[in-house]
A and B are shown apart, each in its own frame.
Chain A
């Protein structure tokens, strides 16, 4: 009997645990869905963005209604549902985008996420963050190496100089001045230093050393400058509209993909067209002079001429989808902390060395991708290290040049 009780208890406990873990999982998926689809217009707090803040939504409306609404808000409004009609009127008759593809479970997951956000203690264990790629590539290794060599050389030379000087002074003391000469003692210290200085200046070894040092410094400056030609790291041009990534991507956490629609699909991430801005800004901050510029451009039918920040030369082919979608890299890997930038600037050098460097270090995001299965298998047969991009032709010319 006791045994049975234990079994029952274990069963109940494990059921509860599984329910909890399912909930956690749902919330994790919900977070993903929320950030990709909802965050552009809704906050998880009370704050009104484009649409109402969703804090406490699970208490406000029954779940059936929410599912119906998300799947087809137009139908709900058309059915004459009072709450829906009021909502519609309250928000300037701007209708919410329908998401007919979201399953009921997914919507519940989103709500679970919202509730978790609203809870005083944030549910920390909302599942593992999506797998990220390798750590961002470190600064250009070539430049760093050069720097170290230079500094080391400089140190060695200074040491040599000091040693030489001390030898010279000891020798001259021994040769010229007898220890008991009164003159020697009478010459004041500063004079002796000055004289020694003069002697040093005329010393050929010193002159050669100094000349060499200057040549090396100039040489380094030239090489640095030459390496810098065509590199625009830190380029942060003024844009026609003072758009802040810090606000949109940082504070409001709008997913990059919401505006840069091609980033997971195509070669280009794409600068958003004005109609994407209008998804939100037909309702919010309409009076801002910067947003007025978008209205004007729409009225005049003149597209906004943004200034390109990241300019790869035409001879290099770069495809966003390959890196973001297939490689699983985060945007910040190459673009830096965009979410903290008021004005976007080029954070990486975008040189071929920088590309190659990353291709040498980065593991192929092969997990769960059948394309790579055979390659991983063949690689692991005779290599200890993991499969890097360079092992599957990532350093070949016609991967980027054609």
Chain B
């Protein structure tokens, strides 16, 4: 695919036009069904010959027809006592709060007949502003995980709560009586009332102490900022420099940051519209989600990280007139340029670093202070509480446990045996602790080693509060009564402290006075938030710069040719706390587009150097990565844009006791991390080896599953300076030769077109603000009952996602320019493009369906009628966007697909307004027609037209950056109409416009805030080395 000047590709294999890739490229759904030795076609996954199958089918059809004469008796079972607020078939919404360790989001929970079925963002919150990550979207499915503990257990055997409480209180009493140490080990606790409850517990057992750690620790950042996590405001920044912080994907509070970041990236083609963008520099080791969205990006090795920051300090200081610091120089592309921009936009500049080394963060604090970021882009006076863990405290605890100095330990929703680098040591030490209790929801790696398991309830079953940011409170209320016999950990703590275990009352009492009694409390629960604000004066943290620089000079090296390890977090999986969630497992990571497992990523040059032949997409080699003697075996992939001589592995995988979707999927990377200045460093610069084991391996990867058939103009982009001159810069405008000369392709049509009297639903997707975070993908899964197909079926190219995020790499190197392309794959530009049914007005799928199962509606939707579909797949073949997915199997009630559709509990998440599709039918995005219909009905009932924004599709609702605008294009006052009125003469384009299918979905050209390219030709342009 070419677009005037640029070459786009989806993976190395396409770039090099690998023969295997070409073979696969045209097979949208993978291999044709297999055959047996006689050459008879077999039904997939069985030994049944297709002909036999058809014979049986013939009989079966007549048998079913006869059986159908006698309808089964269906029961209608009403409530015995209908709750006043619940009306069957009408959804109820409750405000609540998602909390998983330090991850926070204020949410609205949609319940149907008392079952939570969908999570959406609460726009009333000034902290999360309605933005949800893929993980928050998926959390509703974790509620219905039937591998959680079903009640209290003692030594692995089911017990009742009374017995467990009695024994625990007795044992705690004994430990306390002899002065034994008691520890509560927890991840970040956002709830002030929970902390009070723990205070009550400590008051009862004075030897008790709370130890907090975080799996994705940011304790270095907290230390450098004087013990608090400052709140960053990217929306005020004109220059953003990130040194290894994946702030759009995983760092601290990514959905919140993505929203702020997007504010600085939104431009308008209107006359006088905003045409200014922030400039975003990213320096990093791996190709992160944030790096993929940066304007300028270059790489460094983990061993250089500290020196990159000091080099940035010096570069800024030189321009801003500050004193330089003495540290070894390191050469990183664009660093000088970044410093120049930072100084130029002083007061609206922000530097963030993903390092967990307090010394590095101290230098970052100094840079930000120099740039006047405190008080503008950083608000230290209103700190956030997302990461409260202290690596050193946790270290001390593990040492004490090993030394046998701990009498009792309570793991409060913490799983350090899995997600702490010293987990294995802790596992051993646990046998030395007399009393071990876990409140984890399942008998996970830590819980299974504890004597008492007193499972906490899911957040959707719980009462709680949270203080994500100082003075900004958020409340949780149960949206379902506890599914299993679980009990909130707060109730457990209260009970063990000898108090009344009713946490709901405790919480209400704690808030009642502040909120103004019963009414105030009800209002707070209804709103989900209470934000009095704090407004304390900010203070620039004390720096201690000299010590930090000394430490950096000692710990980092300017040059190293050794192989180094980077450990990162995947946008979809995070720390692995929700690993048993099949939605998350199957959601492809935005950059690598791989799901169901982790893998070792290396750059192309490093792969060549190590003698690894990258195979095609799914087929790869297994490699053995050994880090200081610890080895893991996993597949490898070539990741364009990664630093040379590094290997990267994601955390969150390799669970052993999380459940069937998570166990033995990938490897655990936590033990491979190292320690720096007492904090966990998510890298290892020690002895890192990588070699092929000789085994082949497969990775479930979706990136090349659908080919663009060498079509042009799939993604379109430009640079800001060109856009300022011409709002149509970067647009590809196809023309067609006619008898009257060349005409724009849209002006010629065989069809009469459609007339939309009522609504004309449409969507605009802004490629400039889409970060690829994949929240929309999970949201779509939840809303539309999309089946999870599992790792093998993804490998077979049969994933069912209606919405995918296409990721294209690009460079402006010439196709024949081999050297140029090699450079291109070293640090390509990346474009994310959400791709879903385009609801074409001249839909190619509609004309080829032999049974009219796919038709056009009078509101512009391309309708898919499952009960009419006979599964010819002609439509999928004729779809230029490759967005139609075929149900090869019955994904529900089939043992092979043992995910949520295959157990009664998991099925509770099903949206009752959407059909669960059966085998043999095609499906695709319906533009959430159930929501459109519901919204229209609501308007009709109130005898009015629908208000703009009232009807929202799931993907648009969930987008943290509001990159997706959905609405009625017939309504002149709607946001989409206004946007398109401006952008039709600007950035709006239809994907592959030349085919003239006239999609109802428009995309807005991506704009990079880069200098305009000087015309460069051939390999000479890239002759100088780009990486130090």
Interface residues of A (CB under 8 A from B): 229-230, 232, 235, 237, 261-262, 265-268, 270-276, 297-298, 301-308, 311, 313-315, 317, 319, 321-322, 325-326, 368-371, 374-375, 378-379, 392-393, 396-399, 401-402
Residues of B within 8 A of A235 (CB): 71
A392 pairs with B915, CB closer than 8 A:
no
> Complex formed: what's the CA distance from A230 to B67 in Å?
10
Residue B38 at the chain A interface, CB threshold 8 Å? no
Residues of B within 8 A of A392 (CB): 757-758, 858
B75 pairs with A375, CB closer than 8 A:
no
> Complex formed: what's the CA distance from A319 to B74 in Å?
19
A398 pairs with B80, CB closer than 8 A:
no
B867 pairs with A401, CB closer than 8 A:
yes
Residue B868 at the chain A interface, CB threshold 8 Å? yes
Shortest Cβ distance from B863 into A: residue? A398
Q: Which 9 A-B residue pairings sit nearest by Cβ, starting from the closest? A: A273-B82, A398-B863, A267-B89, A273-B79, A268-B89, A397-B865, A393-B858, A271-B78, A308-B74
Known: A268-B89, A306-B77. A229 touches B82 (CB 8 A): no
B80 pairs with A396, CB closer than 8 A:
no
Chain B: minimal CB distance from A369 (Å)? 4
Q: Mark B749-783, 1 if CB is under 8 A from A, else 0.
A: 00000000110000000000000000000000000
Residues of A within 8 A of B861 (CB): 398
Would you list 22 pairs from A and B whose C-beta atoms are within 8 A, ordered by A residue? A261-B82, A268-B89, A273-B78, A274-B78, A298-B81, A303-B77, A305-B76, A307-B75, A308-B74, A311-B71, A311-B74, A315-B915, A321-B937, A321-B941, A370-B945, A371-B936, A374-B757, A375-B758, A398-B865, A401-B863, A402-B915, A402-B933
A262 pairs with B937, CB closer than 8 A:
no
Shortest Cβ distance from A311 into B: residue? B74
> Complex formed: what's the CA distance from A379 to B755 in Å?
12
B74 pairs with A262, CB closer than 8 A:
no
B76 pairs with A306, CB closer than 8 A:
yes
Q: Mark B61-91, 1 if CB is under 8 A from A, else 0.
A: 0000100110101111111111000011110
Residues of A within 8 A of B859 (CB): 393
Residue B940 at the chain A interface, CB threshold 8 Å? yes
Given A398-B865, A401-B865; 16 other pairs, CB 8 A cutoff: A230-B69, A232-B71, A235-B71, A262-B89, A262-B90, A267-B90, A274-B81, A304-B78, A306-B78, A308-B74, A311-B71, A315-B867, A317-B930, A392-B858, A397-B855, A401-B863
> Complex formed: what's the CA distance from A179 to B765 in Å?
99
Instruction: Pick the contact of A402: B78, B79, B926 (CB < 8 A).
Output: B926
Q: Mark B718-737, 1 if CB is under 8 A from A, else 0.
A: 00000000000000000000
Interface residues of B (CB under 8 A from A): 65, 68-69, 71, 73-82, 87-90, 757-758, 853, 855, 857-859, 861, 863-868, 913-915, 926, 929-930, 933, 936-937, 939-941, 943-945
A272 pairs with B78, CB closer than 8 A:
yes
* Prevailing SS type, chain A contact patch: loop
Known: A370-B943, A402-B926. A397 touches B88 (CB 8 A): no
Residues of B within 8 A of A297 (CB): 80
Chain A: minimal CB distance from B619 (Å)? 38
Chain A: minimal CB distance from B37 (Å)? 40
Residues of B within 8 A of A399 (CB): 933
Instruction: Pick the contact of A396: B857, B936, B943 (CB < 8 A).
Output: B857
B75 pairs with A306, CB closer than 8 A:
yes
Residues of A within 8 A of B933 (CB): 317, 319, 399, 402
Chain B: minimal CB distance from A365 (Å)? 9
Known: A314-B915, A371-B944. A305 touches B65 (CB 8 A): no
Shortest Cβ distance from A268 into B: residue? B89
Residues of A within 8 A of B65 (CB): 229
Residues of A within 8 A of B82 (CB): 261, 273, 275-276
Chain B: minimal CB distance from A275 (Å)? 5
A265 pairs with B858, CB closer than 8 A:
no
> Complex formed: what's the CA distance from A304 to B76 in Å?
9
Residues of A within 8 A of B81 (CB): 273-275, 298
> Complex formed: what's the CA distance from A402 to B865 in Å?
7
Instruction: Pick the contact of A230: B71, B926, B945 (CB < 8 A).
Output: B71
Residues of B within 8 A of A298 (CB): 80-81
Shortest Cβ distance from A305 into B: residue? B75
Residues of A within 8 A of B855 (CB): 396-397
Shortest Cβ distance from A378 into B: residue? B757
Residues of A within 8 A of B77 (CB): 271, 303-306
> Complex formed: what's the CA distance from A267 to B74 in Å?
18
Residues of A within 8 A of B757 (CB): 374-375, 378-379, 392
Residues of B within 8 A of A306 (CB): 75-78
B937 pairs with A401, CB closer than 8 A:
no
Chain B: minimal CB distance from A44 (Å)? 29
Residues of B within 8 A of A369 (CB): 940, 943
Residues of B within 8 A of A378 (CB): 757
Chain B: minimal CB distance from A396 (Å)? 5
Known: A307-B73, A319-B937, A398-B926. A275 touches B80 (CB 8 A): yes
> Complex formed: what's the CA distance from A276 to B87 in Å?
13
Chain A: minimal CB distance from B330 (Å)? 57
Shortest Cβ distance from A401 into B: residue? B865
Chain B: minimal CB distance from A265 (Å)? 6
Chain A: minimal CB distance from B414 (Å)? 39
Shortest Cβ distance from B916 into A: residue? A314
Instruction: Pick the contact of A401: B758, B915, B943 (CB < 8 A).
Output: B915
> Complex formed: what's the CA distance from A398 to B936 in Å?
14
> Complex formed: what's the CA distance from A393 to B89 in Å?
24
B863 pairs with A322, CB closer than 8 A:
no
A262 pairs with B88, CB closer than 8 A:
yes
A398 pairs with B929, CB closer than 8 A:
yes
B863 pairs with A396, CB closer than 8 A:
yes
Shortest Cβ distance from A302 into B: residue? B80
Residues of B within 8 A of A273 (CB): 78-82
Shortest Cβ distance from A271 into B: residue? B78
A398 pairs with B857, CB closer than 8 A:
yes
Instruction: Pick the contact of A307: B76, B79, B914 (CB < 8 A).
Output: B76
Residues of A within 8 A of B79 (CB): 273-275, 303
> Complex formed: what's the CA distance from A379 to B913 in Å?
31
A229 pairs with B868, CB closer than 8 A:
no
Known: A229-B68, A401-B867. A270 touches B941 (CB 8 A): no
> Complex formed: what's the CA distance from A396 to B868 in Å?
13
B87 pairs with A266, CB closer than 8 A:
yes
> Complex formed: what's the CA distance from A273 to B78 in Å?
5
Instruction: Pick the contact of B88: A229, A270, A401 (CB < 8 A).
Output: A270
> Complex formed: what's the CA distance from A398 to B915 in Å?
12
> Complex formed: what's the CA distance from A301 to B80 in Å?
7
Chain A: minimal CB distance from B871 (Å)? 15
B937 pairs with A326, CB closer than 8 A:
yes
> Complex formed: what's the CA distance from A304 to B75 in Å?
10
> Complex formed: what's the CA distance from A157 to B509 in Å?
90
B937 pairs with A322, CB closer than 8 A:
yes
Known: A314-B915, A402-B914. A265 touches B87 (CB 8 A): yes
> Complex formed: what's the CA distance from A368 to B942 in Å?
11
Chain B: minimal CB distance from A52 (Å)? 27
A393 pairs with B941, CB closer than 8 A:
no
> Complex formed: what's the CA distance from A250 to B803 in Å?
52
> Complex formed: what's the CA distance from A268 to B75 in Å?
15
Residues of B within 8 A of A268 (CB): 88-89
Instruction: Pick the contact of A270: B89, B758, B864, B867 (CB < 8 A).
Output: B89
Known: A308-B76, A397-B865. A261 touches B857 (CB 8 A): no
Chain B: minimal CB distance from A107 (Å)? 25
Chain B: minimal CB distance from A401 (Å)? 5
> Complex formed: what's the CA distance from A302 to B757 in Å?
51
> Complex formed: what's the CA distance from A308 to B71 in Å?
11
> Complex formed: what's the CA distance from A271 to B857 in Å?
34
Residues of B within 8 A of A304 (CB): 77-78, 80
> Complex formed: what's the CA distance from A317 to B758 in Å?
21
> Complex formed: what's the CA distance from A374 to B759 in Å?
11
B87 pairs with A317, CB closer than 8 A:
no
Known: A306-B75, A371-B945. A401 touches B940 (CB 8 A): no
